[in-house]
Structure 1
Amino acid sequence: MAQPAGDLARPGPADILKLLAPYPGRVAMATRIALICALTAFVTSAYGTPEAAISAYVVFFLNRPDRVLSVVLGSALLLLVTVIVGVVMVVAMFALDDPMWRVAYIAGLSFGLLFVTSASKLRPVGAIMAMIVGFALDELGSVPFGEVATRALLYAWLMVAIPIGISISVNLLIAPSPRKLAGRELAKRLRLVARSLVKPESTGEALSACLHEGDAEIGTWLKLSVVDGSSARDDIAPLRQAVSSTLAILVAADLATREPSGRLPASIAAPIAGTLENMARMLEAGGYPVDIELKLPNVAELTPLARVVVEDLHDAITRFAMVEAQTDVEGEGKADTSAQAGARTQAQVEAGTTPPPAGKRGGFFLPDAFTNPDHVRYALKTTVAAMFCYLLYSQINWPGIHTCFITVYMVSLGTTAETVEKMTLRIIGCLVGAVLGIAAIMFVVPVLSSVAGLMVLVLIGAWLSAWIAFGSPRIAYAGFQIALVFFMCVLQGAAPGYDLSVARDRTIGILIGNVVVYLVFTRVWPVTVAARIEAGLAALRQQWERLVALPDAVARRAQAASAMAQRGALEQDLALMHYEPSWVRPEPQWIAERRNALARLDALEGPMLLIAERHPGDAAIDGWLKRLTGGLPLASDETGAAAVAAPVVPALHAAQNSPLPIAQGPALPGPPNATLPDAAAADDTRTALLKLGDARLTQLEHAASNDAAKELATHAPA
C-alpha cells in the first residue's frame, strides 16, 4: 500500500536509487544537455568571454523534452535578455559613478522584476532576469570608464546569447518532436497496463504515478506537433481520443490491481496484454492503432468487478482512436467544463496562493496580481536577502563569494516549504558539486592539453548533473546545484582553471546565500502551503461534482485526468510540510485531517469515474462527496452503506428514463447464454462499484476514528 499523503519522508538511500533509475528519454535528454554545455564551453573559451560557468549553467534553464518548447523558450529568453541589457545600459548612465545610487537601482530593479516574476507568467525566468540585472550593475561598478562599461554589457549579453544560440541549433537537429514524445508516453502507459494485468502485485505504484501525472503534458505535445509539422491536423482528433481511451484503460487496470476480486484470469489477461503491446509498438512507430479487434473468452463467470474491468478495457481498446460524432450534448459538456475551470480558478484566487490552471487562457498578469500581498512580500524578501549578500561581500572586500548574491535568486520560492526544500537539495548539490569540481581541478585539469579535453570534462560533469536535474522533482534541484558548482570550479576563465581558492570561495558563497534565504523566508512573512492545500481541496470537490455530470466521455475523462493530477499535486504539497519550521507548519491534527481527505478521494476516484461512465449524474456520487467533507455523519458499515445507497435506486430509474445516453458496456464475444441481460448486467456492475466505494470509504473512516482515539489517549491527563 502506498504511503499516505503527508507521510512521505525525505528520500532515503533506497528511494534515491529509484529516483536515479533510467526512464524512456532520460539518457537522450541528459546527453543533449551535456552536448550543449560542452559546445558552450568551447565557444566561450575560443572568444574569451567572461563568466563561462554562468553561460554553461544557463543551458539547464533553456531546454525541455521537445524541440518546439526548447526553441520557443530560448528565443523568448534571448529577447528578454536583450531588453534587460538595454534597461541596464540606460540605468548605468545614472548609476555608474555613484555607489549609493547603484545600490538603490539594483534594489529597485530587483524588487520590480521579482514582483512581476511572482504575479505574472514570467515566473520560470523572472528570477534569472533579476539576477542578471543586479550582477551586471555590480560588475559595471568596477570598470574605470564608459567604453569598458559598454564592452562589459556586450559580454553580459553574450553570456546568455551564446548558450541560447547553441541550444536552439542543437534542439533543431537532434531534439525529439512533440508527436514522438506523445506517442512514447502513451506507449509507456499501455505497456504498464499490459504488465499490470499479468503481474498486478508489482505495478500498483507505477499505475498510481501515471494517474497522478495527468494528460496535460500530452495534450500540449499534440498541440505543438501541429506547429512543427510532425502531426497532420486530421490526426489530432484521433490522437486526443487515444489519450482519453488510455485514461480509461489505466483506471480499469488500477481497479484490477487494487482489488483482488477485480483481477482477470490468464485466459483473458493474456490476449488483452498482447493487444496492448501491439498498440504500444504502433504508437512508438509514429502511428496510432485503428480498427482493433479483441476476441475474449466467456466472461459470464467472472466477478462483477472483473466484468467492469473487462468491459472498460474492451470498450477503450476497440474504440481507442475512434472519434465520436459531436453533438449538442457534447457542447453542454464543454460548457460545464468551462464553468468548472472558472470555479476552480475563483477558489484559488480567493485563497491568494495559486495561479490559474494551465488550461485557462488569460492575460500576462495573474488575476490576483495587484490584490494579493504575497507577491509584494516575495519580491521584498528576496530583494532584502540579495542586497544583504551584495553588501556583505562588497564591504568585506571578498568578491570571490559573489555567488551568494546569485544563489538568493536561484533558491527563493513563493512558500517557505518549497524554499527550504529547494535550499536543502541545493546544499547537498553544492557539496557534491564542490567535491567533483575540486577533484577535477586536482586530478584532471592538470593533464588537459587542449580545449577538447576541457569540453570532455564539461560534457561528463554536465551529463551527470542533467541526469539528476531532469529526473524526479524530488531531487531535481540538487542536479541544478551540482552543475552550477562544478562549472564554477572548472570554468574559471578562457582556459582550464587550477586555482583551488576560486572553487573554495564560490562554494562558500553558495552556502552563505542558502543560509540567508532560509533565515529570511522562515522568519519574515513566512508563507505556508496550508492555504494552497485548503483551496485545492475545495476546488477538487467542486471539480468532481461537475465532472460526474458530464455526459460526454472525452470531456469527462479529460477532467478526471486533471482532477487526479491535481490531487497528486496536493499530496506533494502536504508532504512538503516536513520542510516547514514548527512555527510555520499547521497543527498535526490539521495535517491528519487533510491527509485523510486526500486518502478518501484517492479511494473513490476510480469508482466515481467508472459509475459516471455508465450513469452520468448518479446521486450516489454526491453522497460520497458529502462524506468526504463531513457532510454525512460517521456511521457503521451497514448504516453507512444504507445512507449512501438510499437515494440510489430512484436515481437509477430517473437516469434510465432521461434522454441522455447511458453506456451499458460492450457486447463481448461468448456463447449466447453466457452474458446477463443488459439492464441486469448494468445494475450488477453498478452495485459492485457502490459496494466497493462504500467499503473503501468506511475502512478509511474507521482508520481515521481509531487514529483520533489513539491521539486523545496519548494526550489525556494522567
Structure 2
Amino acid sequence: MAQPAGDLARPGPADILKLLAPYPGRAAMATRIALICALTAFVTSAYGTPEAAISAYVVFFLNRPDRVLSVMLSSALLVLVTLMIGLVTVVAMFALDDPMWRVACITGLSFGLLFVTSASKLRPIGAILAMIVGFALDELGSVPFGEVATRALLYVWLMVAIPVGISIGVNLLIAPSPRKLAGRALAKRLRLAAQSLVEPEATADELSACLREGDAEIGTWLKLSVVDGSSVRDDVGPLRQAVSSTLTILVAADLAVREASGRLPASFAAPVAETLENMARMLEAGGYPVDIELKLPSVTELTPLARLVVRDLHDAITRFAVVEAQADVESTGKTGTDSGTAKRAQAQTDAEGKVETAARTEAQPQAQVKAEPTPPPTAKRGGFFLPDAFTNPEHVRYALKTTVAAMFCYLLYSQINWPGIHTCFITVYMVSLGTTAETVEKMTLRIAGCLVGALLGIAAIVFVTPVLTSVAGLMTLVLIGAWLSAWIAFGSPRMAYAGFQIALVFFMCVLQGAAPGYDLTVARDRTIGILIGNVVVYLVFTRVWPVTVAARIDAGLAALRQQWERLAALPDAVTRRAQAASAMAQCGALEQDIALMHYEPSWVRPEAQWIAERRSALAKLDALEGPMFLLAERRPGDAAIEGWLKRAMDGLPMPSAETGAKVTPLPVAPNAASPEAAANDDTRTALLRLGDARLTQLEHAASDDAAKGLATHAPA
C-alpha cells in the first residue's frame, strides 16, 4: 500500500539518499545545465558584463527536459524581459531624480506584477519579472541619469539575454527531443511493471509513485514532438494508445503487487515480463511495438484476481498501440500491416510466450491505421487570467505581502548603507508562494541550500580560486558547482528548491566580476542577505493573512470525487484511462498538500482531527483506485463505484467543486447466458469484494486510531 498521506514531509537521511539516486536522463540534464552555465560565465567574463552570478542562475529557470519547451521558454522570457526593460526605461525618466518617486515606482510595479503573477498564467515567471524590474530601478538609482543609466539598462537586459541565447543554442544541439523523452518514460514504466511481476515486494512503493505521476507530461511531449518534427501526425494516435495501454498494465501490476491472491506464478510472470522488456527496448530505440502476440498457459487454475490481472495484461500488451478505429480494426483485434511498413524487431519465442513486433522510427508514418481516433474531450481553456482573478482577495493579499517584504529589505540595506546584502531583496521574490505551508517549505529548503552553497563557495574561494590562471579554470569551477546544483534542482520536487539555492549562493561567491573573485566579504554579505530575506518572508507570510492549504484540500477532494464519478461512466476506453491517470495524479497532489501542513505554524494549521479525516479519505481513495478503474473498464457506470465513493467520503463536509454536473451511471445489462457475461460477473464479484475489504480494513484502522486518541486524552 502507498505511504500514508501526510507522512511525506521532512525526509530523513535514508529518504534523502533515495531522492539523490540517479534515474534515466538526470545526469544528461545536469550536464546540459552545467555546460550552459559554464558558457555563460565565459561570455560574461569576456565582455565584462556585471552580475554574472545572476546570469548563470537564470539558466536554471530557462531549461526543461526537452528541447522544444526549453527553447520556447527561453524565447518567451527574453521577450517579456525586453518589455519590462522598456517599461523601466519609461518609468526611470520620471522617477530616478527623486528617491521617493523611485521607491513608489518600485512598490507599484512590484504589486502590479505580483498580482498578475498570482491571478494569471504568468505564475511560473511572474515573480522573476517583478524582481528584475525592482532590481533595475534600484541599480539605476545609483548612477547619474544619461548615458550611464542607458548602459546600465543594457547590462540588465544582457544579464538575461546572454543565458537565453546560449540556452537556445545548446538545447537545439544536444537536448533530447520530446518523442525520445516520451518513449523513455513509457519504457521506464513498462520495465517497472515487468519487475513488479517478478519481484512484487521490492517495487511496491516505486509502482505507486509511478501511478501518482500521471500521463500529462507524456501527453505534452507527444504534442510537442509533432511541433519539432520528431514525430509525424500518423504516429500520435498509436503513441497515445500506447500511453493508455501502459496505464492499464501499471494498474494490473499494482493489483498483483498489493494483493497476494493476485500474484502470478512464474509460468505467467516470466513471459509477460520478458515481453514488456522487449517492448521497452523498442520504445527507447525511438519506435513503438505493434503486432504483439503473447501466449500464456490456461488461467483456469488461477484465483479470480489473478485471472483478472492476466486478462488485463494480455489485452493491453497485444493491443498496445492499436488505435480503436471502426473502419480498420477487425473483430480479432488485430490490424493489418501496410506493404511499405518496415520491421524493426524480429519475432522472439520461448516455451511460454511469443512476441512478434514491428517498431517504426520517429520519422516513419504509421500506415496501418487509416482513421484518426476520436480525441478525448479537452477541458475548456480559459483566458490569460484565472476565473477568480478579480474576486478572490488572496491574489491582492499575496501581492501586498510580497511587496511589503521586498520593500522592507530594500529600505533596510539602503538606509544602513550595506549594499552587499542586496540579495535579501532578490530572495523575497524567489521564496514567496501562495500558501504559508509552501512558502515555509521553500524557505526551509532554501536556507539549507544557502548554507551548503555558501560552504562550497567559500571553500572554492579559499582553496581553488587562488590557483586559477585562466577563464578555462573559472569555467571548470562553474561547471562543477552547476552540475552538483542541477543534480538536486532537477531531481525530486521535494528537494528541488535546495538545488536552486545552492546554485545561487555558489555563483554569487565565485562569480564576483569578469575575473575570478577572492573577496570573502562579498560571499559573506550575499549569504547574510539571503538569510535575511528568508527570515523576513517567514515572518510576513506566517503573521499577515496566513493562507493554509486546507481550503484547497477540501475543494480538491470534492473535485476528485466528481472526476471518478464522471470517468467511471465514460464508454470510451482511451478517454476513461486518461481521466483515471489524471485522477490518480490529483490524489497524489492532495497527499502532498496534506504533507505540507507539517510546515504550517500551529496557529495556521487545522486541528489534528481535521487532518486525520482528510488523510483517511485520501487513503480510502488510494485503496479504491485500482478496483474502481478495473470495474469501470468492464462495466462503465456500475453503481458500486458511486457507493464506494460515498463510503470513502462519509462524514466529510464536501464543498461544491466547479468541475461539472453529476453524471448518471450508464445502464449495464450484459447477457447473462453468454460465457463472457458469466466471466464478467465473476470478475465484478471479485472486484467488489476487494474494494469492500480494503475499505473495511481502513475503517477499522481509523476506529482503532480514534480509540487510542480518546484513551490518550482521557482524564486520569
* TM-score past 0.5 threshold: yes
Deviation at 1:473, TM superposition (A): 0.5
Aligned to 1:558: 578
Alpha-carbon contact 1:333-1:550 (below 8 Å) kept: no
Alpha-carbon contact 1:81-1:129 (below 8 Å) kept: yes
Match among 669, 674, 684 for residue 682 of structure 2? 684
Instruction: State the distance in 2 between where 1:412 and 1:569 align.
Output: 20
Amino acid at match of 1:159: M
Aligned to 1:623: 643
Aligned to 1:352: none
Alpha-carbon contact 1:533-1:573 (below 8 Å) kept: yes
Deviation at 1:3, TM superposition (A): 2.7
Residues 588 and 175 (structure 1), Cα distance of their counterparts in 2 relative to 1, 3 Å cut: same
Alpha-carbon contact 2:114-2:126 (below 8 Å) kept: yes
Deviation at 1:684, TM superposition (A): 1.3
1:24-70 Cα shifts (integer Å, max 9, x gaps): 00000000000000000000000000000000000000000000000
Aligned to 1:353: none
State the secondary structure of the residue aligned to 1:501.
helix
Aligned to 1:208: 208
Alpha-carbon contact 2:33-2:63 (below 8 Å) kept: yes
Instruction: State the distance in 1 between where 2:640 and 2:442 align.
Output: 43
Aligned to 2:615: 595
> Is 1:574 the counterpart of 2:591 in the alignment?
no
Deviation at 1:414, TM superposition (A): 0.3
Aligned to 2:553: 533
1:469-618 correspondence runs (5 A): 469-618=489-638
Aligned to 1:457: 477
1:392-403 correspondence runs (5 A): 392-403=412-423
Amino acid at match of 1:166: I
Alpha-carbon contact 1:615-1:655 (below 8 Å) kept: no
Unaligned runs of 5+ in 2: 328-370, 653-664
Instruction: State the distance in 2 between where 1:578 and 1:237 align.
Output: 43
Amino acid at match of 1:202: A
Deviation at 1:678, TM superposition (A): 2.3
Instruction: State the distance in 2 between where 1:444 and 1:236 align.
Output: 51
Residues 616 and 404 (structure 1), Cα distance of their counterparts in 2 relative to 1, 3 Å cut: same
Aligned to 2:424: 404
State the secondary structure of the residue aligned to 1:201.
coil
Aligned to 2:330: none
Aligned to 2:708: 710
Runs of 4+ deviating beyond 3 Å: 330-335, 651-654
Alignment RMSD: 1.9
Aligned to 1:357: none
1:360-406 Cα shifts (integer Å, max 9, x gaps): 52211111111110000000000000000000000000000000000
Instruction: State the distance in 2 between where 1:703 and 1:623 align.
Output: 20
Instruction: State the distance in 2 between where 1:471 and 1:688 align.
Output: 39
Aligned to 2:140: 140
Instruction: State the distance in 1 between where 2:532 and 2:257 align.
Output: 49
Aligned to 1:174: 174
Instruction: State the distance in 2 between where 1:126 and 1:613 align.
Output: 42
Alpha-carbon contact 2:325-2:373 (below 8 Å) kept: no
Alpha-carbon contact 2:2-2:208 (below 8 Å) kept: no
Aligned to 1:106: 106
Deviation at 1:711, TM superposition (A): 1.4
Amino acid at match of 2:524: R
Instruction: State the distance in 1 between where 2:651 and 2:389 align.
Output: 34
State the secondary structure of the residue aligned to 1:313.
helix
1:202-247 Cα shifts (integer Å, max 9, x gaps): 0011110110000000000000000000000000000000000000
1:500-521 Cα shifts (integer Å, max 9, x gaps): 0000000000000000000000
Amino acid at match of 1:429: G
1:366-381 correspondence runs (5 A): 366-381=386-401
Deviation at 1:654, TM superposition (A): 4.6
Deviation at 1:622, TM superposition (A): 1.1
Aligned to 1:263: 263
Instruction: State the distance in 1 between where 2:372 and 2:476 align.
Output: 57
Instruction: State the distance in 2 between where 1:308 and 1:239 align.
Output: 25
State the secondary structure of the residue aligned to 2:293.
coil
Structure-2-length-normalised TM-score: 0.90
Alpha-carbon contact 2:670-2:677 (below 8 Å) kept: no
1:683-714 Cα shifts (integer Å, max 9, x gaps): 11111111000000001011111111221222
Deviation at 1:98, TM superposition (A): 0.5
1:568-613 Cα shifts (integer Å, max 9, x gaps): 0000000000000000000000000000000000000000010110
Instruction: State the distance in 2 between where 1:128 and 1:145 align.
Output: 25
Alpha-carbon contact 1:333-1:555 (below 8 Å) kept: no
1:261-296 Cα shifts (integer Å, max 9, x gaps): 000000011000010000001100111000000000
Instruction: State the distance in 2 between where 1:631 and 1:401 align.
Output: 52
State the secondary structure of the residue aligned to 1:601.
helix
Deviation at 1:144, TM superposition (A): 2.2
Alpha-carbon contact 2:96-2:145 (below 8 Å) kept: no
Residues 411 and 265 (structure 1), Cα distance of their counterparts in 2 relative to 1, 3 Å cut: same
Identity of aligned residues (%): 87
Deviation at 1:717, TM superposition (A): 2.9
Aligned to 1:639: none
Instruction: State the distance in 1 between where 2:606 and 2:667 align.
Output: 46
Amino acid at match of 2:506: F
Instruction: State the distance in 2 between where 1:192 and 1:275 align.
Output: 13
State the secondary structure of the residue aligned to 1:143.
coil
Amino acid at match of 2:251: V
Instruction: State the distance in 1 between where 2:577 and 2:666 align.
Output: 22
Amino acid at match of 1:572: Q
Aligned to 2:693: 695
Deviation at 1:145, TM superposition (A): 3.2
State the secondary structure of the residue aligned to 2:201.
helix
1:1-22 Cα shifts (integer Å, max 9, x gaps): 4431012240111100000000
Aligned to 2:21: 21
> Is 1:194 the counterpart of 2:194 in the alignment?
yes
Deviation at 1:677, TM superposition (A): 3.3
Match among 423, 430, 435 for residue 455 of structure 2? 435
Instruction: State the distance in 2 between where 1:9 and 1:652 align.
Output: 41
Alpha-carbon contact 2:439-2:538 (below 8 Å) kept: yes
Deviation at 1:680, TM superposition (A): 2.2
Instruction: State the distance in 2 between where 1:550 and 1:333 align.
Output: 14
Alpha-carbon contact 1:333-1:551 (below 8 Å) kept: no
Aligned to 1:638: none
Instruction: State the distance in 1 between where 2:220 and 2:198 align.
Output: 32
Aligned to 1:645: none
Residues 631 and 413 (structure 1), Cα distance of their counterparts in 2 relative to 1, 3 Å cut: closer
